[in-house]
Chains A and B, each alone.
Chain A
Amino acid sequence: MDLEKIKSEIEAAVPGCRLQLIHNDSPSGQHSLLLDREHAVAVATFLRDDPELRFDYCSNASGVDWLDKETSEKVKVKQLVDGVEQEAEEVRKTRIPGYLEAVYHLYSMEKKHGPIVFRLHTEDRGDGARLPSMTPVWRSAEFQEREIFDLYGIVFEGHPDLRRILMWDEFEDHPMRKDYVEPNDYEYEPTPHEAVLEKAKQARAAE
C-alpha cells in the first residue's frame, strides 16, 4: 500500500489533521502514520469507511513505552581564563521527554489488503498519558485497549469499559513500563479484612 497516497487522501478528507510519516528501516517495510490526538477518531473513521480503503478490521493494538532520553553533545565554547580567551569543550545535555505510544495494525477483510499501521503518542508518561479510544470505531480494540491501560497506564478516553484486564483491580502500577520496579512482596493484596481491622483499631483508640 502506498502510504504517501493514503496520507494525502486523509489530509483531503479530514481538514486540519496533522499527519507524520514514520519511516521503518527494517526489511519488513511496514511504515506507519503518526496521527494527532484531536483528529485521530475522525481519521480512523475515514480509514474504516472510505470505499477505496475499507480498513474494516483492526487486527492488533499494542502499547509501547519510550523513556525520557538524554543526549549529550560536546560543544566548543570560548572561555576567559586569566584574561586570556581559550577554547574549551563543554558537554551540553538535552533531555527529550518520554511518551507512551499506541500502535494499531489495520487490515481490510473486504478488500483483502493491508496492513496499514498508525500510531498515537501521549503527551507525557504521567497525567498526560491520555489517548482517544478506537473502540467506538473498531470493537476489536476493546480488550486490547484495556490491556494497554492495564499494563502501560494509557487512559483511553471514550472507552466504554476501561478496567484492568490481566492484573487484579487493586494492583497499582503498570508492569509493562520500562521503568517498572517489581514489588518486594508479590503476595500482598489489600483485602476488605484489613480495612475492618483498621477500623476496629481506631474504634479501640477512641475508647
Chain B
Amino acid sequence: MSRYRELAVKLKAAEDLMHALRTQQVDAVVGARGPMLLRLKQAEEDLRNSRNQLRALAANLLSVRDDERLAIARELHDECGQALTSLQLGLSWVFRKLPRGQRPLQERISSLSATTTNLIRSIKNVAGQLRTGALDELGLIESLKSQAREFEGDTGTPCRFKTNVAGDTFDRSASVAVFRIVQAALTNVARHAQASRALVAVTMRKNDLSVMVVDNGKGITRKAMLSHESIGITGMRERTLALGGTFTLGRSRGKGTVLTVRIPLSRVTGGTASAQVKSEP
C-alpha cells in the first residue's frame, strides 16, 4: 500500500472514530489501564442539571436586577427629584428677589433654572425606564402599547401595536419579563435596525402567549445573533427560558429582523387563565 493510501485509510478511520464519539455511539474507551465505561447518559444528565441550575441562577439574577432597578428608580424620584424641585423653587425665589437692573444675574439664574427643569425631566425618564413604566397601574398590554407609542415618539419610526388580548391580569413576574423583552427588542431596533417601520404583536394562543417584535430594517447578522457580547439578546433569551418559553431571533423573509417569544400560558397567567381574548368582529 502506498504511503498516501495508508494515510488516507488512517484519516478515514480517525474521522469515523470522531463521528462515533460525537454521535454518542461509544460505550467504552480502552486505555492503557483497561476499559473505561463512558457514562455518556450520566454526563448528559449532569450537563442538563448544570444548565438548569445556571438558568435558575440567571433568572434569580434578573429578578434581583429588577428589584434593584425599582429601588434606584424610587431613590432617583424621591431623593434627587425632590432635591432638584426644591433647588428650582429656590432659584425662582432668588430670581424674584433680585433687584431690578441685575440683568446678568437674572440671565444666569434663568439658565440654571432651565437646566434644573431639564434635569428633572431626565430623571423622570430614567426612573420611568427603570420602573418598567406604568406596568403596575396599566397592566402589561396597555404598558406595551404605551411603549410602542413612546418608541414612535422617540425615534420617529412608526410602530404598530397589535393584540388579541383584552383585559389582562397577567402574573407580575411574567409581565415584567415580557415588558423587559419588548423594551430591549425595541431598543435594539432603535439602535441597530435602521428601520422605517416596526411592529409589536402580542397574541394569546391556545397554549401560549406569543410576543413578536418585527422591523423592516437591515436585519440582524448571524455574528450578532451568536455573540456572547449581545447582552440585550442574552437577557431576553434568559428571561424567556426562565419562564419555560422559547426564544427565536432571525431575519425576516423580506428584510429586517423578527423576534418571537412564546411563553406557556400556565406561566403567564400564574396557573389561572385570567387574560381574555378579544372576540373577533
Note whether A and B form a binding pair: no
Q: Residues on A close to B: CB < 8 A?
A: none
Q: Residues on B close to A: CB < 8 A?
A: none
